[in-house]
Amino acid sequence: PPSQSSRRLASAGSDAHVAIWQADEKGLWSQLQRIDVAETMGMAEWVRDVAWRPGCGVVGHVLAVCIGTRLGTFGQAEDGKSWSLREDRDMGQIVYKALWNALGTVLSVSLEDGSVRVFKENLRGVVHQFAFADGSGVHAPCPPQSGESMIALRMRA
């Protein structure tokens, strides 16, 4: 099992920041880092959700962040001290929730209209939407939705 000092979590809220917390040996939590999502992504809204990608065989720490109509992914630098925007995707409507699968290879997001978009990264590092679900069922493969634009196509290490 991981030691207390290696336990970390991310939180977000109306201040448009993501905070990274770590537990010490006594189980007390302290803030390690703070990411200014609003400034980085150019959105003056609150962060609705943050999801930490599980580290099961996946290299590097990645956070998925929902802010306004955008879905961003942030990667941690090799020095472990800073986070940078890897991908910024305009979904065309409010993004409410992000959820990684148990292996950290698939990311699902729920949107304002009740639909769910499902993304994964291919072996070349290109992230693409491969399915979506709405009231009429699950659809795959799926073309880009109108109003959706990719600001960055590749996940950058």
39-81: pLDDT as tens digits: 999 888 999 999 999 876 666 789 999 999 999 999 888 777 7
Q: Which residues contact 45 (CB under 8 A, 6 or more apart)?
A: 16, 38, 67, 68
Amino acid 31: pLDDT:
95
Q: How confident is the model at residue 142 (pLDDT cuts 50, 70, 90)?
A: low
Q: How confident is the model at residue 149 (pLDDT cuts 50, 70, 90)?
A: very low
Average pLDDT of the residues in 1-23: 82
Cα torsion 14, 15, 20, 25 to 10°: value is -90
The mean-pLDDT minimum among 30-44, 63-77, 123-137 falls in: 123-137
Q: Tokens representing 61? A: 């720490």
The answer on pLDDT for 29 being more than 80 is: yes
Closest by CA position to 145, among listed 89, 76, 79: 89
The answer on pLDDT for 34 being more than 80 is: yes
The answer on pLDDT for 157 being more than 50 is: no
pLDDT, averaged across the chain? 82
Amino acid 156: pLDDT:
35
8 Å CB contact between 83 and 76: yes
| pTM greater than the 0.75 cutoff | yes
Amino acid 78: pLDDT:
78
Task: Render the burial of 64-87: b for 16+ CB within 10 Å, e for the rest.
Answer: bbbbbbbbbbbbbeeeeeebebbb
